[in-house]
Amino acid sequence: MVEILDNELKGLTGNKTHDEARQGEAFAPAADLPNIFKKRFYIESYGCAMNFADSEVIASILQNEGFGATRNTEEADLIFINTCSIREKAEQTIRKRLSELKKVKKTNPGLLVGVLGCMAERLKSKLIEEEKLVDIVVGPDAYRTIPQLIEEAETGQKAVNVLLSREETYADISPIRLNSNGVTSFVSIMRGCNNMCSFCVVPFTRGRERSRPADSIIAECIELYEQGYKEITLLGQNVDSYHFIPVNGNDSEAVSFARLMERVALISPDLRVRFSTSHPKDITDEVLYTMAKYENICNYIHLPVQSGNTRVLQMMNRTYTREWYKAKVDRIREILPDCGISSDIIAGFCTETEKEHQDTLSIIEYSQFDLSYMYFYSERPGTLAARRYPDDIPLEVKKRRLAEIIELQNEISYQSNIKDLGKVFKVLIEGNSKKNENEWMGRNSASKVLVFPKGDYNLQKGDYVNVRVTDCSKGTLIGKVESLN
Ligand code: SAH
Ligand code: SF4
Ligand code: F3S
């Protein structure tokens, strides 16, 4: 989902990694805040969408305690960095940022610096030993205790809480939408992960999987819709395993992911629903048929394959084979013919041979992903792979294999865009295009970005409009308004 690609390879890809798009975004309310707060906090987020959603929960906790947000590190009394550990590079980026913050601390000796999120959970109090400027360390399940930890740190002690929980879902906390476009929003539906993919640090940093009560999810979605939001992305590391049984309820009252998605879709036909991420093993026909049934459930599935070779997939503990994954792609195309499919791919996993790497290339070709997030394997201490297998593929080989994967995927993404030329799509306008304020930017159901001239239509962000594709680049469809919705 996330980390920035190695700099040398960045130039090769038209596909943006999540981090390029979102890494290190500072969160602060759009409007200026009055000067009534006891202290001001600044929060910066790295990593996956779940971290960004968590920062909105953290902002809410802080605001309820009388703290105010600022966009400016110089103005802040508290600086929080919400961190990611998924690859070594992600942690290096954060360490670099922390060393930059030393300058801010010099000019403001009373400043407190807090490290939150996955790197906090992975390194625990070691982080305080290693990074002298850090005062507070908080893991993903301990955000409610941040106000107390601040008090503790104010007395000059270092404050740490990295306890993981089996229950915490922050269900009752209404996130503060910071830096929002007012049109699209994330809603967290579960936390943690039980899958134990051997390369992955997430089960260690985020703990056991738990589903947020369905009613609190629906209430948050309704509130967003009433505030004018038009698209909700249901978030979790593995959303298809969402399973909620009400307190004192029995199994017959269990809410599956398909049921939950249906309930969100029924809020209004004008509210789009997306979800991320799906583990291929858990995406059921029930989910696919529910997607087919509702026009406002977007035809887009992020279905990380990781590798195209069965032996490697087994070592990764992904629980499916090459053939099984291909059959899943076939099934999606059968039930949802226009569905966009994207993927995550890891190059150079432990012991991967050239032939096995070729299998990854051929499964990309077979699956015709519209987009992929592509990485080379980065060993994470403590994971199953780090304990069991040698990280034996030389860095140059990993990089070369990754470059081959990126080159192929870029070509397939471009071909996929070319196939859309002349088609008309219903687009939800998210805002101005980055390059030209006389153009709108929005997405179609399959999550492709469309850019088109505003013209004299008097459209606004949050409107739906039908756009005909007239041209394309590798990453974007270019079009013109065909008709109003
Ligand atoms: N829960 C999501 C993925 C979360 S991590 C899922 O299972 O789909 C996002 C992606 O980072 C993964 O899909 C994987 O491709 C990549 N990734 C995770 N650990 C990695 C590692 N140690 N080295 C390289 N890439 C990794
Ligand atoms: Fe990591 Fe696998 Fe869980 Fe995704 S499903 S978060 S890759 S362990
Ligand atoms: Fe990174 Fe943690 Fe997300 S390791 S990818 S921020 S769950």
Give me the residue spans of the domains in the chain. 18-161, 334-419, 424-484
Q: What is the pLDDT averaged over residues 140-152? A: 98
CATH T-level assignment (fold) for domain 18-161: Rossmann fold (3.40.50)
Give the neighbor-by-neighbor strand order of the sheet with 272-276: 184-188, 231-235, 272-276
**Percent of the chain scoring above 70 in pLDDT:** 92
Q: Are 206 and 193 in contact (CB under 8 A)?
A: yes
- Asked if pLDDT for residue 25 goes beyond 80, the answer is no
Architecture of the 424-484 domain = Beta Barrel (2.40)
Please identify, by atom number, the ligand 3 atom nearest to the C-alpha of residue 90: 1
pLDDT score of 250 = 81
| Distance (Å, whole) CA 175 – CA 188 | 10
pLDDT digits (tens, 9 = 90+) for 324-382: 999 999 999 999 999 999 999 999 999 999 999 999 999 999 999 999 999 999 999 99
The average pLDDT across 23-32 equals: 50
Beta strands 243-244 and 255-256: pairing type?
Answer: antiparallel
| Model confidence pLDDT, tens digit, residues 300-335 | 999 999 999 999 999 999 999 999 999 999 999 999
Q: Is 307 in the pocket of ligand 1 (CB under 6 A)?
A: no
How high is the pLDDT of residue 24? 57
CA of 86 to the centre of ligand 1 (A): 7
pLDDT of 86: 98
Cα 196 to averaged position of ligand 2 atoms, centre (Å): 6
Confidence at 16, pLDDT banded by 50, 70, 90 = very low
With bands split at pLDDT 50, 70 and 90, how would you rate the model's confidence at 246?
confident
Indicate which atom in ligand 3 lies nearest the CA of residue 82. Answer: 6
385 lines ligand 1 (CB under 6 A): no
For the domain made up of 334-419, the CATH class stated in words is: alpha beta
Cβ-based neighbour number of residue 131 at 10 Å: 18
Among 84, 92, 276, residue to substitute to test ligand 3 (most atoms within 8 Å of Cβ): 84
What pLDDT is stored for residue 7 in this prediction? 27
- Nearest ligand 1 atom to the CA of 238 is 1
197 is in an annotated binding site: yes
Q: What is the pLDDT of residue 132?
A: 92
84 has binding-site annotation: yes
How high is the pLDDT of residue 85?
A: 98
Give the mean pLDDT of the chain: 92
pTM reported for the whole predicted model: 0.93
At 148 the three-state DSSP class reads helix
d(CA 344, CA 321): 16
User: Which atom of ligand 2 lies at the shortest distance from residue 194's CA?
Assistant: 3
pLDDT score at 26: 57
